[in-house]
Structure 1
Amino acid sequence: MADPTNFGHDRLAHLLSDRLLKVPRFQRSYSWDDANVKEFLDDLENARSGKQSYFMGTVVLASDTEHSSRQLIVDGQQRLTTTAILLVAIRDRLKQLGKHDHANAVDETYLRRFELMQEERVTRLILNPVDAPSYERMLSGKSGTPNHPVVRCYEICKGHLMDLAPGDSDYKILLDMVDQLERRVQVLLALASELSEAYVIFETLNDRGAELTTADLLKNYLFSQAGRDYLALVERSWTTISSAFDKADDLVKFIRYEYMSIHGKVTMRNLYKSLQGTIGKTPVGIREYLLRLERALVSYLALREPDNSHWTGINTDVRDSLMANRRFGFESSTPLLLAAFRSWETEKAAKLVNKVTGWSIRSVVGGKIGGGQSEEAFCAAALAVAGGKATTQDQVRSHLSHVVPNDEDFTQAIQAYGPLSLARAKYLLARIERQIILAGGGNAEGLPDWSSTSVSVEHILADSMTRQSFESDDEFTEFATMRARIHNLTLLEKSLNRNLADKPFVEKRETYSKSKFTMTRQAGEPASMDVKAIRERGRLLARYAPAAWPL
């Protein structure tokens, strides 16, 4: 049976001088921004001015089973790291003021100590692998990675100290700051014998009210409920999952989509509570959830990256669809696709990727994506797939009929869609180009890669044209509405597109005739081009849209 948790009072800097501490490798990185650091420094200054103690909340530590001499920081990482960085800045400022003995004392007492048996200086606070390199460089008096949060914190502390102690005679202000951190910045210390017990304490003390992300809360919950037998699995699995994301918000987004792929729509506000209810409190439930989350992560990362190795060996080409999803920011369909890759065989799920992208194009062009309507529909379809009630594409589409326009509505909507960014225009024009070729009995496989930098988007009537180029205000107004829609845009090889942008149409025609794109050669066939012709071209291109993105 584990020893009971010890509770007591301590002081913030004294924790650094009295113990060897470590941030667990699965813990989130240092995340205090400029405002957090400045608030901390201001609070310390106000407390010093009023000769008052300053309470900094609870610090929760746990024994490190890998290194018995160290303790793991479960709660208090941000405060302890900021304190250590401030002490590094104080040390460096003391050196600048010529107080080398004082600086060495700060370094030895709070930052690094010499271990006789190891015959080397040991860092008192070890940060996680993301933060450690910059922190260790600062300890050695070198510059860390620019704009890294740890380095930003140091720069703010350094500037603060320069203001407080600008001259040689002001060094005692720095010593008073050290004394304050050592003796007058109070914390409540909870010291647990096991990591899982430490997270139980953390969960109880924070009561979900601290400024933590859903990912932080979920991590704490998983560790607190894992039990001794599954603790190593939880640590390994959580490290694998969380390290796939640079930002906590992106991790939370993935967790939410995975939840919705099984249980239906949930708001971000209710996600953590919903997760607790579905995961349960048994170690076996924790294990099953994490293993499921790891499997979903494979599909999720593949859906975000066209060149992911997950697509190797799959006969269905999903690259264009994944590129489109990225360019249009399609995310509401993610729960549905995760459900399909979990419930269907891979080839069948990959085919659904292409179909769902086509439905999403119809939906966004028709103004149906946004406002939560599409997410509701896609989550309903995901539930049907997860529950085995939708096993075909047609059955999936039945849940999306109210957000996916029919052919007639889609044809009308795409003529009014825009203005288009060049990235989105390239995709839309490429799919229509492909359909033009197929409708003419040709082979579309030899087309240049639309997503490459070798293909550009060309304005048929120059984007720079002004009112003086048109016979009436009405004609110019109509041009202005169409200049960045498919009507006036075409694909062109960049090697042909040099210096064409502002030229009149009659000077572009010969270049268009050399293009490999059918729509571009066709655009150059008329002897002249005016607003009426551009309008008609938009209608013609729109006719191919239903076949390019079929229901």
Structure 2
Amino acid sequence: MDAKDHPVISVLGDQRRFVVPIYQRQYSWGEARLEPFWDDVVAKAEQTLEEGKPKFSHYMGALILAPGGDGFTIGSTPRVQVVDGQQRLTTFQLFLVALREVGERLGYHQLSGHVHSYLYVPPMHGDTDTDARFRLMPTPEDRPVFHLIVETGLNGVRAKHPEWFFQNGRLIKGPAPNAVRALAFLVDRIETYARFGLTDEQADPAPVADEPDDAPHRRLRSLLEALLNHLKLVVITLSENDDAQVIFETLNSQAEPLLAMDLVRNNIFHRASAQGEHVEALFEAKWRPFDQDREFWKADSPRAKPKRPRIDHFLSHVLTAQTGDETSLRELYAEYRAFTRPKGKPRFDTVASELDALTVYAPIYRALEVGGGDEALARLGAKLNLWEVSTAYPLVFHIAISDADPAQKSHLYTLIYSYLVRRALCGLTPKGLNKTFARLVGAMIKDGTSAATLAVWFAGQRGDTVRFPDDREFREAIRNKPVYDSIRRKDRLADLLWDLECASRTKYSVHAPRPANMSVEHVLPQTWTTHWPLSDGRNAPADKLTGVDEAMLAGIRTREAALQTLGNLTLITVPGNTTASNRAFPDKKPWLRESLLALNLAILERDTWDETAIAERASTLADLATAVWPAPSSS
């Protein structure tokens, strides 16, 4: 038996065919397995784009190969059996097909040539098998559809099996085989990443104005390089005398997998013992809290990517908070070893001080994740959790343990959330927040933890992917941006409106807590043609086209532009929303009054509600918003 690690390019670039034995299971990866695979590849692609080469390769597990079983024929392509790892190999192939397909869609036709040799093997004169050109031979059940995928891509599958697709071309997930579903998943992820630079399907796409024209092609190349050069497999090649089944069962035992933090713990206490420190006392005093509350620390972090236990995410945030450098969660153990010995010298004099540098952040992390403790931290944590921006945690960690006074810390927490809100309402991309927050940590390590440092740093950032929108841009967005369309998560939009509700209250208002059954309401309804005449008194047709003249068309466009802006949005109870629906303004006002919200008082004072009223209310909300979500003072 021979075991060596190899990058994927060495495995798929070899002159041999991989044959999955007939007794192996069919391809079974669904989204639960494809999501972390995609996260691994795109993380390496991002590092390749930014740094030229990642600090570490990522190991994808083992590939066990056995002799082909039918001997070697001179002049024919060598064959090996895939004892274990066929799911990974198949996914690599599907990823290459998906890359090729997206490349064709985006006009990057050279990509087909780049991936060809990893999908096919050059024919040899002794190859008589009709499928000899394919590099991978899946199980007989999977083989026809897999080879159809490799040959024709998603379009070819759709042409041969229209029953697997809706009329709009989207895949019906039920009847299609797993390989087809996996291909559709990968095509969607790759195309979104290539077009917008987004690594998460939940993010709201927003154009990046300062990108070069070839950015989508560069991202596709980085994905190919990440897969081939920066993912590795431990390839175990068996001899004729090795028992393949025993090795397979050993590597696939049901033991609980070690977490990165488990490896870190073992490394820490091994060094403590070697250095003569009191291991048991250190464990009891400094590590025991992690083990005592296993339910919290070992649970998957519900809002962080990739899906990993909280304790691993915690360690990643700690490393970034202490260094100002991004940390790869996928190579966390290697990152930690590099952290403890920068440039080959120990960072800490003792293991005790090293443990102190870890555990000081534990209560901060808990407050951000589940509340409790420091009120300002818990409040920020609730906001970050709603927006799923745990990438801000390292910056919050750094601020929380700094020497800044409580008022300064609270102001910095407000600015962090203001940054997210302003960018969302201005329609700026959410991409790259992890880099922005890590660089802010670095700036504060260098120049001090203060709002002034944050303001100076942002003053030097002009690119759309980083900048902090100023008051002028923010006001303009509130007046004109269709935020109801751009912010897809309506619970986030409702939370923003509730913040404005609280800011609208006076000492005479009812300061009630937020009810659980509030929803976002369009004052001028989305379906407005029946009960809401235009400014000239005419009713528009239901389709907004039939029989309209130029004047009416202009009025429709003006109304549609105002419809989804913040000035036309408010909060109302869910039953009130259902009842008010598309009614005329006089009929809707009682339900707005029933809400007892200060946010609705200015609406109730009006006799009519139209584009002018929306614009005036938007200006009022803009005044409130700049105070609720302030900009750094220098901007």
Provide the residue aligned with 1:129 in structure 2. Answer: none
User: Contact (CA 8 Å) 1:377, 1:400: kept in 2 or not?
Assistant: no
Provide the residue aligned with 1:400 in structure 2. Answer: 458
Structure 1 residue 284: Cα displacement: 6.4
How far apart in 1 are the matches of 2:387 and 2:323?
26
1:287-307 Cα distance to aligned partner (Å, 9 max, x none): 4334432221220221233xx
**One-letter code aligned to 1:426:** A
1:405-442 Cα distance to aligned partner (Å, 9 max, x none): 2211211123344223321222222222333335xxx4
The counterpart of 1:276, out of the listed 324, 332, 337, is 337
User: Contact (CA 8 Å) 1:384, 1:390: kept in 2 or not?
Assistant: yes
CA pair 184-380 structure 1, distance change in 2 beyond 3 A: closer
Provide the residue aligned with 2:366 in structure 1. Answer: 301
Alignment partner of 1:468 is 2:541: yes
How far apart in 2 are the matches of 1:214 and 1:317?
27
User: Contact (CA 8 Å) 2:67, 2:81: kept in 1 or not?
Assistant: no
How far apart in 2 are the matches of 1:493 and 1:288?
53
Provide the residue aligned with 1:459 in structure 2. Answer: 522
Provide the residue aligned with 1:510 in structure 2. Answer: 590
- List, as ranges, runs of 4+ consecutive aligned residues in structure 1 with deviation greater than 6 Å: 42-50, 52-57, 281-284
How far apart in 2 are the matches of 1:34 and 1:189?
19
Alignment partner of 1:254 is 2:314: yes
Q: Secondary structure at the match of 1:412?
A: helix
Structure 1 residue 522: Cα displacement: 1.8
Q: CA RMSD in A?
A: 4.7
Provide the residue aligned with 1:227 in structure 2. Answer: 273
Provide the residue aligned with 2:491 in structure 1. Answer: 423
Q: How does 1:106-505 map to 2 (within 5 A)?
A: 185-187=245-247, 215=261, 218=264, 221-222=267-268, 225-227=271-273, 233=283, 236=288, 239=291, 242-243=297-298, 245=300, 247-248=307-308, 250-268=310-328, 272-280=333-341, 286-305=351-370, 308-311=371-374, 319=379, 321-344=380-403, 347-348=406-407, 349-367=409-427, 370-372=430-432, 374-386=433-445, 389-401=447-459, 402=461, 403-417=467-481, 418=483, 419=485, 420=487, 421-437=489-505, 442=507, 446-450=510-514, 452-465=515-528, 468=541, 472-494=552-574, 496-505=576-585
Q: Which moved further from structure 2: 453-462 or 231-240?
A: 231-240
TM-score, normalised to structure 1's length? 0.54
1:252-276 Cα distance to aligned partner (Å, 9 max, x none): 4332222111211325267554421
How far apart in 2 are the matches of 1:483 and 1:288?
58
Structure 2 unpaired stretches of 5+: 1-26, 34-60, 72-79, 86-241, 251-256, 302-306, 462-466, 530-539
CA pair 465-542 structure 1, distance change in 2 beyond 3 A: same
Structure 1 residue 507: Cα displacement: 0.9
CA pair 485-249 structure 1, distance change in 2 beyond 3 A: farther
1:84-139 Cα distance to aligned partner (Å, 9 max, x none): xxxxxxxxxxxxxxxxxxxxxxxxxxxxxxxxxxxxxxxxxxxxxxxxxxxxxxxx
Q: How does 1:73-112 map to 2 (within 5 A)?
A: none
How far apart in 2 are the matches of 1:357 and 1:183?
58
How far apart in 1 are the matches of 2:352 and 2:247?
34
How far apart in 1 are the matches of 2:333 and 2:560?
48
How far apart in 2 are the matches of 1:221 and 1:531?
65
Structure 1 residue 458: Cα displacement: 1.7
How far apart in 1 are the matches of 2:586 and 2:66?
72
Structure 1 residue 404: Cα displacement: 1.7
TM-score, normalised to structure 2's length? 0.47
Provide the residue aligned with 1:540 in structure 2. Answer: 620
Q: Secondary structure at the match of 1:529?
A: coil
Structure 1 unpaired stretches of 5+: 1-32, 58-181, 191-210
How far apart in 2 are the matches of 1:34 and 1:325?
35
User: Contact (CA 8 Å) 1:219, 1:238: kept in 2 or not?
Assistant: no
Provide the residue aligned with 2:127 in structure 1. Answer: none
Q: How many residues align?
A: 363
How far apart in 2 are the matches of 1:358 and 1:220?
41
CA pair 537-475 structure 1, distance change in 2 beyond 3 A: farther
How far apart in 1 are the matches of 2:70 and 2:590?
79
User: Contact (CA 8 Å) 1:336, 1:378: kept in 2 or not?
Assistant: yes
CA pair 537-230 structure 1, distance change in 2 beyond 3 A: same
Q: Secondary structure at the match of 1:458?
A: strand
1:33-56 Cα distance to aligned partner (Å, 9 max, x none): 96599xx9x999999999x99988
Q: Secondary structure at the match of 1:344?
A: coil
Structure 1 residue 285: Cα displacement: 5.1
Structure 1 residue 490: Cα displacement: 0.7
How far apart in 2 are the matches of 1:433 and 1:267?
39
